[in-house]
Structure 1
Amino acid sequence: MRWDDGQPWRFALDLRAEAGGKRWSWRGVLRRGDNRMDLAEPLVLVPGLLVLGVGRAARFDDLGVMSWIVRLRLEKEITFVEPQQDLMLGRILDEARVPASELVESMALEEIAVKPRPSLTLRTPRQNWGMAADKLLADLEFDYDGALIPAGRTTPLAVSTEVGLVIRRDPRTESAADVKLFELGFREAKDPRLDPNTLELPAKRMDAVTKELVLAGWRIEAEGKLIRPAGEFKLALSTGIDWFDLDGGVDYGGQSVSLPELLSAARRGDTMIELGDGSMGMLPDEWLKRYGLLADVGAEENGALRFNASQAGLLDALLENQPEIQIDEAFAKVRKNLRQFDGVVPLDAPPGFHGDLRPYQREGLGWLDYLQRFGFGGILADDMGLGKTIQVLALLQRRRFRRQAKGPALAVVPRSLVFNWLQEAEKFTPRLRVLDYTGSGRHPLREKFGEYDLIVTTYGTLRTDIAELIEIDFDYVILDEAQAIKNSESQSSKSVRLLKSRHRLAISGTPIENHIGELWSILEFLNPGMLGSDTVFKRYASSSNVEGEDRSLLAKALRPFILRRTKSEVVKDLPDKTEQTLYCDMEADQRRTYEELRVHYRDALLKKDSAELNRSKIEVLEALLRLRQAACHPGLISPDLSSSPSAKLDMLMPSLAEIVEEGHKVLVFSQFTSFLSIVKERLDRDGLVYEYLDGRTRNRSAKVDRFQNDPDCPIFLISLKAGGLGLNLTAAEYVYLLDPWWNPAVEAQAIDRSHRIGQTQHVFAYRLICRNTVEEKILDLQQKKRDLADAILNADNRVISGLTRDDLEFLLS
């Protein structure tokens, strides 16, 4: 027996196609290098040894599959039809340690090792199976470069003759996919009629699960429809005469969806959209979160979204830093103009303006000029006391001087501010021709509007006369305390939107009092159509939605149209203390109460001769005191009138609310504790927190400490006698003097409760004076007879003896 000392022979499998590839057969062969031998040729074939008929023996490697070798030596071949091909290959690879290279070579297959892509098929159970209708069934497979391998197999290799591959499986990736599905709520179906590897999922979880898996790169098919993630976005913005068109769409693996279709589906609350090939496209949440507002504020026009010119700022903010969006040259120019806001040039006070503008006011005038140059409306929202009215008057004077004004400007203001507008205009812009369009005798004045530069009226007058006012072309319409139109359904709001003007402007220290949705009405007046419909904006801007990026986006869109400076931002431009007298106009009921008293005391006192008048000092003091009280509030005359209207309260309460809204603190002084009690009732009604101090207060230090240190206590009501001395209230930045104290020392003491050593903020002090009352006449008299005015206000009957009959007639006139 000769021994062959060469390499061992090895068992291999040979695959042969028959009947045109419809039937296959396996045969065993022995191979050594390029030599081949039929499996039946050796006389003896045992593990480790084979013996040939010529008396030659050699080594043999059975690869541990002697059972296959024995079977094939007996049966010659194993046959199977085409559908069983991959299964049989799998069995061979599962059960035999036949080298993959040998198998691949015998079948002309390629062995690969790639990372698989999980593929999940979702379906509903068959109706007649009696399974729960709220469940979905799922089958997991893994896509190895085109070869789908079902989950659940444990063998390291799998075969796909269709794609000509032998796959080396990736157990780590497959295991991670199993774990992921479990985390998402999938569980084994446990139904004997189903494949053991079938999973089930609550149907309500489908949208969330699908979204997460598709975005993670999985292939998902639901009810026979492939679910595609959004691909590339292609958008282009073009400019028309007075509009912009945003055109384009999103690609879903070769299937395109137009922008209006996409946004319309999002508006309906859909999470997917059907594509042209029957597959489903996932709506891109992150993209829609940023651009979903486009669908609400734009209008579909010929397959594009159309926006009006006033929406340029919103478009600029929405489309910023998006390279996939192409913009035309015209919109690029609009964008440049919008962004010039950062470079607004401060302007000096125009010729004809009396006084100086502070640096921040010069910047404000530059901003107002920027708005009118580009045809925008805006909100001047500086802190109270920073001179918003003065900046607007400077703008109107500038337009008058440059002959830009085309007709008069209309200022719509609360009744309590009419006189202050007239007074400020007279002081700072005396060349402006100003008309007071209020009161019952106003109607003939409409014919003379063209002779004036500025018409001042009230919201109430506007509502009453709107039918006539809408026929007039104004150069500017200006709304002071513009939060008065925050309710878009109010008559005031509807009326101002009907007015015709070249330019529009709003003034408000608190354009947002409760929530950001209040801005819509003001901005709709300023720039019609800018924010879409009222309903859309309020839904988008609701407190639960506007957070983080959305809030930043909205702020960026509105930034060019709102200018707000706080006291702390401009403190370097302010003097330490600013004092101003504010004039109030009584409503009819309060005027009637005051006039009844005035006539009563006039008739009673002026019928006396000079000698009798000199002996009636107490009566004179009582008359003047009662008239001063009536000027403050009718409730000081009679408790039954405590709920009556008061011009001073009408001016005070909105100002207090604005100060609190801005985060500041305020002192409110009055000589009359009964007036402070009425103020307390109003503060309680409005939910404003305060402290109170009068001559009967015992725990003064505790109240002062609370006001000074508690950020939730912004208001301090103080009577003159209690608060004149010894209090340090430097937390306050505003001081209101509700009734006149023209003894300079007494008034200074009150103001200095706030403005003293330790105060680091600028202090604003306001005196409230009712027009056409004894208060105003005392102010006039003060200029002539200082001592007499002080005596009246301090009830000093020693000095009041110098009051002449002419003085009394003047005071009671």
Structure 2
Amino acid sequence: MAKRGQSPSSTTRTSPRRVRNDGIMSVLARAVREVEAGAQRGRLTPSARTKFQVVALLAREERLRVKADATSTESHRAEQLKRLDGIGTILAQTAARDTSLLSLLAEDSEVTDAATILKSDMMRAAGREEEVKPTAAPPVSTTIAPASERQVVPKSVVARQLANPFLTPDFAAVERREPQSRRLATWELLGPLFSSFERAAGGSSACMTLPEPADTKVPKGLTLMRHQAELVAAAEDGHRTFLLADEPGLGKTAEALLAAQAANAYPLLVVVPNVVKTNWAREAELWTPGRPATVIHGNGDAIDGFADIVIVNYEVLDRHVGWLGDLGFRGMVLDEAHFIKNKKSQRSQHVLQLSERIRARTPRPLLMALTGTPLINDIDDFRAIWQFLGWIDDKKPLAELMHSLEDTGLTPVDNGFYSAARGRVIEMGIVRRRKVDVASDIPARRIADLPVELDDEVGRSIREAERELARRLVSRYDKALETRSAGVVVDGIDHELVRRVATWEREDSSSKTDENVFSMMRRIGQAKAGLAADYTAQLAHSVGKVVFFAKHVDVMDTAEETFKARGIRYASIRGDQTTAVRQRNIDAFVDDPEVAVAVCSLTAAGVGINLQVASNIVLAELSWTDAEQTQAIDRVHRIGQAEPVTAWRIIASQTIDTKIVELIDSKAGLAARALDGSDEEIASSSDMQLEALVLLLTEALGERIAD
């Protein structure tokens, strides 16, 4: 018999299972201890590295869930967060032992199938299998995946949706133009299309035909340069997809804002790196003052849901991808679009999802990808950007591009296909202008190398570590030669085997006692820090304001201590600062004549900020790509610069530093050949770390043969 106040069936009804928070905590605690124990033994296996990444992902998600749990008591919530802090501490200590683990914590780190499966298993072990969601890259579709625990919907956005019952677009209004099965239907075309930018430049730059500038109205006191007005005129004429690849410093932000105004592409979504959110809001207020802009910080509690321009950074996009896909945007701008070149990263998946959503529900939306460095290491870096613009999907060109290629009457085996295909892709909306062509009033720039001798104990230790790394590579090479099939004879150095050995070395998880190319470059940066700061101080005294760039925090710390000791005022621009603090420091360097040096992180300050008040840059540490180096230099070498710009690269003599410089400079030809029509040869598109190891091993083997 049922108890009083209870329905007869309630005694047999199965109640929904409650989430077992203690279960997930126990699973995470056990897993992180296993990873820690593996690191203490000296070497983490691939499976342990996967477990490290999954623990970090689950701990991050659980922290957000605990903070948002309104049903939990304050004391219970504090207890759970404390336990998560303990897990985070162990992860940090483990990463300190093996710094290669830090790459697994990055926003754009690939989540492998093995990590997806392990995450599911750990959630199931915690009694939360009903909450498991795939983390691997899903196929891009017109339907955004259900909101995860991280995702939020700001109250002001709900208010906007309720205020406009007609917000949901009419899907029938979107033209569906499918490519017909014609001559090219069975051809693999993406490879030839990418290759056409390497093979068929023919001395011509990659810039679509642009109309004569229109009389674009701009706010009083502002002027557009001719190249900027040409792009705005193209938007006014109805063009709607642009890969705006002008060299850094040519005013792409203003072009994008005015193009959106010309196309009436409101509401407009702008996705940017965190460091430039505030700058985009300022530029919007400057160039399109009649269109209110709002910036999403964190969960977006303070945003204006009725704004015409919504600015969000890549780092928090995962929280907002759900409601952003439903808001009815008529345009989307992607700043520093090379950030999505890794299509397997979560940031790329979210960007492509939103683009697909907007294209599916808005007739001819404005889509703009902005990047001065669209090609980092490989011509394939185009792939994600073209997909964002709706020119291709994973396997083939989409309707508009396919029809254009069909109209050439050519196939990839015909003479002239590559040149014609490159031209058709460019007319889809590639816009590339160089400073030397459109802004001749910007003074020249040069890169000057300053070799420094590391002749102390630290320098000797670094050189010995480099020799030890070379010996290890040679030993692996010799063992591989011994075990290869009988009868295989190679005269001299087997360069194919050299590349394989270098690949093995790069992919192996180094023990805490082994030196690798990453840790070696960091040690060299630390050893150069004081010398680079000394030279910066000398420049500041003799020529005025100087921008100091470094990759690592400890190098920045050493530089700032040097400036402080010498009575030189500086502004620090770092990745761990809030947007407001970072902007305040930028303003101090630009506006205060007493602030002589900007100490900048290559990651946090290498894009999207204007520091042209200086004309001298010190690159205390080397980048792994020419593109990153170029971006840093172009914070100074841009519109508004009145003086010739010099970038001083501090190079540690007799170390791997000199080899990295050679590799960086050899990579500089990629964009020149693919986009600017140069006949310069393109170096191998393999990544820089691998090339450094190949060079190190090749030189060591050459020295042995010579002996």
TM-score by length of 1: 0.32
Q: Which has the higher helix share?
A: 2
Structure with the larger RCO, 1 or 2 (CA within 8 Å, 6+ apart): 2
Larger CA Rg, structure 1 vs 2: 1
